[in-house]
Amino acid sequence: MCTQRLGGASILGIGSAAPENVVTNRDLEKLVDTTDQWILGRTGIRERRIGPEDMCTSDLCEKAALQALDHAGVAPSEIEMVIVGTTTPDFIYPSLASIVQHRIGAPTGGAFDVQAACSGFLYALTIADQFLRTGKYEKILVLGAEMPSRLVNWDDRASCVLFGDGAGAAVVGLSDDTSRGMLSSCLGADGSTWKMLYQPAGGTRQPIDAEGLEQKLNKTRMEGNEVYKVAVRTLLAMANGALEEAGLTIDDIDLFVPHQANLRIIDAVGKRLGLDPEKVFVNIDRYGNTSAASIPLALREALDVGRIKEGDLILMDAFGAGASAAGVVLRW
Ligand code: UT7
């Protein structure tokens, strides 16, 4: 369902973080039966960042959050709520958001995670937008953070080559310039597809036991072809929904920032939307699929390399397990 908004949440500052450890396709050739040529040709990925054993998702969150706060010129004490989009928190509970709040020294306001898989950042941004519009809060920290490397079955060549670790954070608030901020948000999910991408054991349906561990049921299961088809369809639907609700057409958009899952998916969606390839932001080659972190990671990089200027219209578009999906139009 789509809801029209005007002058909503602005990104006042943005930060990102990724582990230093780079794993190239050549490195993966030594691990599973794959080739650099296959991975690059089928996905557009050259390398990804994989965190060391002693790293957890909140380590990446803290770094990204402090960078975002610094960029916004906002102190941790001004943050009234923390929302993290994640599928790979430090623990099943408490929330990653609670841990991040404590680690950055934010006040004890609301803090919670949003589990919408790769669409988590856009879902979290949409929730923050609602709290800002009602006047309930003025500054909210929104993150997308993941360590998919922890859930990947490193024996499964069809999925292990795709993912990477990372985090992105945005300080959001209402801008004095009412033309800035979120113009529309379109959210979706299709629960009937849940089996195409999931972690079989570790939840209440199948608590983890020795047999489950043996069968690696605590690791990601994915039907790649099915995900691919659903991805293209839902990304198009969400982008068009968000554009329509904002009263815009694709020609108005200055930069398209899609979830970075597969370069072929991004190209197919860009083409069907009728987008000039110059307006599509891609960094999957260096990070792989960082799930909920991919859009804020891309936003920070786009800003750093001068691809986003004040007043630009940005279309963000995501899909993921569940099959969650989201499209957001924002005037920077
Ligand atoms: O955020 C959402 C997360 N998931 C996704 O975004 C996944 C979306 N899906 C995809 O990106 C693609 O479906 C994949 C990249 C996962 C797979 O690409 P594909 O073009 O759909 O390949 P395929 O699954 O049809 O496999 C083609 C062949 C198969 O061999 P045969 O049966 O043709 O002999 C696979 O076994 O490629 C083989 N294959 C590999 N070969 C070398 C699968 N993975 C690999 C690999 N290296 N890593």
187 forms beta bridges with 326
String of b and e for 23-48 (b: at least 16 CB within 10 Å)?
Answer: bebeebbeeeebebeebeeebbbbbb
Measure the CA–CA gap between 330 and 132, rounded to whole angstroms: 15
Q: What is the pLDDT of residue 6?
A: 61
Q: Which residues contact 85 (CB under 8 A, 6 or more apart)?
A: 113, 114, 115, 116, 119, 120, 121, 122, 123, 124, 142, 143, 144, 145, 292
Question: Hey, whose CA ends up nearest to atom 30 of ligand 1?
Answer: 158
**How many angstroms is it from 38 CA to the middle of ligand 1?**
9
Give which of 166, 199, 149 is closest to 28, Cα–Cα: 149
Tracing tokens 């199948």 back to the chain, one arrives at 206
Q: Is 224 in the pocket of ligand 1 (CB under 6 A)?
A: yes
Q: Is 42 in the pocket of ligand 1 (CB under 6 A)?
A: yes
Closest ligand 1 atom to Cα of 32: 48
Q: Is 34 in the pocket of ligand 1 (CB under 6 A)?
A: yes
Measure the CA–CA gap between 125 and 182, rounded to whole angstroms: 9
- Annotation marks residue 259 as catalytic: yes
Q: Is 149 helix (H, G, I), strand (E, B) or coil?
A: helix
Catalytic residue, chosen from 186, 259, 262, 283, is 259
Q: What is the pLDDT of residue 178?
A: 86
Q: Is 157 in the pocket of ligand 1 (CB under 6 A)?
A: yes
- 40: left (phi > 0), else alpha (psi -120 to 50), else beta? alpha
Eight-state DSSP code of residue 305: T
Q: What is the pLDDT of residue 5?
A: 44
Q: Is 290 in the pocket of ligand 1 (CB under 6 A)?
A: no
Predicted model pTM? 0.97
- Annotation marks residue 289 as catalytic: yes
**How many angstroms is it from 277 CA to the middle of ligand 1?**
24
Measure the CA–CA gap between 135 and 174, rounded to whole angstroms: 9
Per-residue pLDDT of the chain (332 residues; tens, 9 = 90+): 554 446 699 999 999 999 999 999 999 999 999 999 999 999 999 999 999 999 999 999 999 999 999 999 999 999 999 999 999 999 999 999 999 999 999 999 999 999 999 999 999 999 999 999 999 999 999 999 999 999 999 999 999 999 999 999 999 999 888 889 999 999 999 999 999 999 999 999 999 999 999 999 999 999 999 999 999 999 999 999 999 999 999 999 999 999 999 999 999 999 999 999 999 999 999 999 999 999 999 999 999 999 999 999 999 999 999 999 999 999 99
Any idea how long the chain is? 332
- Condensed to tens digits (0 to 9), the pLDDT of residues 161-213 reads 999 999 999 999 998 888 899 999 999 999 999 999 999 999 999 999 999 99
Measure the CA–CA gap between 97 and 292, rounded to whole angstroms: 14
**How many angstroms is it from 164 CA to the middle of ligand 1?**
17
- Annotation marks residue 102 as catalytic: no
> Which tokens hold the place of 46?
């050259």
Out of 88, 190, 193, 228, mutate this one to test ligand 1's pocket (max ligand atoms within 8 Å of CB): namely 228
Give me the amino acid identity at 10.
S
**How many angstroms is it from 3 CA to the middle of ligand 1?**
36
**How many angstroms is it from 42 CA to the middle of ligand 1?**
7
DSSP notation for 187-239: EE--GGGGGGEE--SSSSSS---HHHHHTTTTS-EE-HHHHHHHHHHHHHHHH
